[in-house]
Amino acid sequence: MAQEHWSTVDNYITDLFIPPDLALENTLRSTVAADLPAINVAPNQGKLLHILALSHGVNRILELGTLAGYSTIWLARALPADGKLITLEANPKHAEVAQANIDRAGLTNQVEIRLGAALETLPKLVAEEQEPFDLVFIDADKVNTAEYFSWALKLTRRGSVIITDNVVRKGGVIDANSPDENIQGIRRFNAALALEPRVKATIVQTVGSKGHDGLAIALVVGD
Ligand SMILES: C[S@@+](CC[C@H](N)C(=O)[O-])C[C@H]1O[C@@H](n2cnc3c(N)ncnc32)[C@H](O)[C@@H]1O
């Protein structure tokens, strides 16, 4: 009952605030057509990412976990013409579907997909001495989220924002003895985030078409 209700309210919000958009709708359709899991952010969450990126005046965005490029498109649309988004994806099929969606959205020049496990591609970004990213969105596998956050800190600067998805997991994060490795991965991340002196951070719970979960938002305040 709760899920049906949350989805109906999400549809109401989407109808009010998300105008029809061919590039985004085609991206969701391609997720189904290519048999990818429907684990993209919800439309209103995509718009939240877009608004946060816009309000932060971002020039450079790093995303971990591309899937079909749905959140990528929302985020990249907040960039200026000479802005850059690098998105990390381990699955070649996901990367291929995403590239087609990014091209169709007219974002080819701004978005670069780096194929490979994020724990391998992140050190390469550091070795390349990439300019700091203004916003990082962490949404890949959940087991390594604490490590991804550590790398994100190396790739950002004071004033950058690091947003991490799925940090509540239907409330499963309150169970210290959970046998679920994703929950344990996120618990490790949440505990590290709370103690990290270089950020001001909080977690907000979310409910909607994607169930009960949460977003962590961290502002980098120290080096
Ligand atoms: C939750 S989905 C991303 C959803 C996307 N951010 C959106 O909202 O549209 C997670 C993605 O991370 C990818 N992934 C899983 N493990 C990864 C890893 N170790 N490195 C990079 N990507 C990974 C998966 O293949 C999947 O496409």
Query: Hey, what amino acid is at 223?
Result: D
Supply the pLDDT for residue 120: 98
- Atom of ligand 1 at shortest distance to CA of 118? 20
Report CA-CA distances (Å) from 137 to 7, 11, 12, 21, 178.
24, 24, 26, 22, 26
Domain architecture of the chain: domains with CATH: 2-220 (3.40.50.150)
Alpha helical stretches, state H, the chain: 2-17, 22-33, 43-55, 70-76, 92-104, 118-127, 145-154, 181-195
Mutate which of 27, 30, 39 for ligand 1? The one with the most ligand atoms within 8 Å of its CB, which is: 39
The 10s digit of each residue's pLDDT in 18-63 is 999 999 999 999 999 999 999 999 999 999 999 999 999 999 999 9
**Residues with beta carbon inside 6 Å of ligand 1?**
39-41, 65-67, 70-71, 88-91, 94, 117-118, 139-141
Supply the pLDDT for residue 4: 95
The 10s digit of each residue's pLDDT in 146-181 is 999 999 999 999 999 999 999 999 999 999 999 999
Q: Whose CA is nearest to atom 27 of ligand 1?
A: 67
pTM above 0.85, yes or no: yes
Q: Distance (Å, rounded) from C-alpha 127 to C-alpha 79?
A: 24
Supply the pLDDT for residue 223: 82
Say how many Å lie between the CA of residue 64 and the centre of ligand 1: 7
Q: Distance (Å, rounded) from C-alpha 40 to C-alpha 65?
A: 9
- Residue 1 scores a pLDDT above 80: no
Mutate which of 47, 91, 125 for ligand 1? The one with the most ligand atoms within 8 Å of its CB, which is: 91
What's the helix, strand, coil split of the chain in %, to 5? Answer: 45, 25, 30
The 10s digit of each residue's pLDDT in 86-98 is 999 999 999 999 9
Decide if 178 contacts 136 (C-beta within 8 A). no
Decide if 185 contacts 193 (C-beta within 8 A). no
- CA 42 to chain centroid, in Å, comes to 11
Handedness of CA 44, 49, 54, 59 (dihedral sign): negative
Say how many Å lie between the CA of residue 63 and the centre of ligand 1: 9
